[in-house]
Amino acid sequence: MLIFWVLSGLVAFYLVLTFVLSFVVQAFPRHPVSDPPDWGSIEDTFIPAVDGGKLEVWRIEPPGKSRGIVLLAHGWGRNRDRMVNRARMFGDMGYTTVLHSARDHGNSSPRRVMTALRFAEDIEAVMEWIGEEIILYGHSAGAGAAIITAWRKPEHIQLLFLEAGYAYTRPALLSLYRWFNRVVGSLLGPMILFWMNLYYRGALDRLSPARLAPGVRAPVLIIHGENDSRFPVHFARELHQSFVPEQATLFIAPGAGHSDSSTRPGYRKAVQAFLYKTCRRH
């Protein structure tokens, strides 16, 4: 009888712990950076968020006539500054660039329990503020949000860039937890994901990028670090295969990890080649 009660207590503790952690992991950590833009004409403003809050936004106009608008979405725990290096490259090529901090990130308004879907809501709020077709670029969680947006608002997306993304949400989050701590991720991760998927009514599976990919119309460039330890490169290959044949192009950045593909040889050339190819096609 004693063994039964001990085991029951351990199971109850495990269930309660993983239930609490399923919310905690969506609130931490936050690692904002500071890297303000240093080119073009800069508009620094706040715009309304979907829940009545606010989003901090930079809009940077290049010298001369703009070739189009690129909206760049950062990843989990970061802020708009994280995308400045990538935006600078597009600015050099003559594009207007727009960068925002998602809710509960940077100086945007607080929001409990941010998800890829809520990241997508913030992208869509910025798109409404822009008011015209865009090129959409997402990194990591921002890539997951970008594909949700491209699936929900296909008529507004000209091109789609997905950097350091993933194909299916559950394996991606489990990989992330194991990257943080292999023992904790292996023991607690599966149950944390069970609670999360239950809370979101199956959205972890339903809104996985690979499931949405067939409904995306825009040409896609998938960018991934060869040595990404958070989301291993096979995630990118799996996502690539989920699109309609020849819709997506895959660039593996040599020697890159999760966040530094944009600093590697071949990155700029791959982006320019993709832009040139798709411009000629359309």
pLDDT digits over 30-55, tens only?
Answer: 888 999 999 999 999 999 999 999 99
Q: Return d(Cα 261, Cα 242) in angstroms, integer.
A: 22
| pLDDT, mean of residues 113-122 | 93
Amino acid identity of 77?
Answer: G
pLDDT of residue 5 exceeding 80, the answer is: no
Amino acid identity of 188?
Answer: L
Give the tens place of pLDDT for each residue, 50-106: 999 999 999 999 998 999 999 999 999 999 999 999 999 999 999 999 999 999 999
Q: Return d(Cα 215, Cα 40) in angstroms, integer.
A: 36
| pLDDT, mean of residues 144-162 | 97
Complete domains list, the chain, with CATH: 31-168+208-281 (3.40.50.1820)
Q: Return d(Cα 207, Cα 186) in angstroms, integer.
A: 23
In a 10 Å sphere around its CB, with 0-12 CB exposed, 13-18 middle and 19+ buried, how is residue 79 labelled?
Answer: buried
Residue 184 has a pLDDT of 83
Residue 280 has a pLDDT of 57
Residue of 188, 177, 153, 247 whose CA lies nearest to 18: 188
**Cα torsion for 36, 252, 241, 136, to the nearest 10°?**
20
C-alpha dist (Å) from residue 225 to 40, 115, 163, 175, 187: 29, 23, 8, 15, 27
| pLDDT, mean of residues 178-194 | 90
Residue pair 165/147 in contact by the 8 Å Cβ criterion: yes
Residue 2 has a pLDDT of 73
pLDDT of residue 282 exceeding 50, the answer is: no
The secondary structure of 52-111, three-state, reads CCEEEEEEEECCCCCCCEEEEECCCCCCHHHHHHHHHHHHHCCCEEEEECCCCCCCCCCC
If phi > 0 it is left, if psi is from -120 to 50 it is alpha, else beta; for residue 246 that is left
Average pLDDT, rounded, for the chain: 93
Structure tokens at 87: 């935006």
Sign of the dihedral defined by the CA atoms of residues 207, 208, 210, 213, in that order: positive
Q: Return d(Cα 175, Cα 166) in angstroms, integer.
A: 10
pTM: 0.94
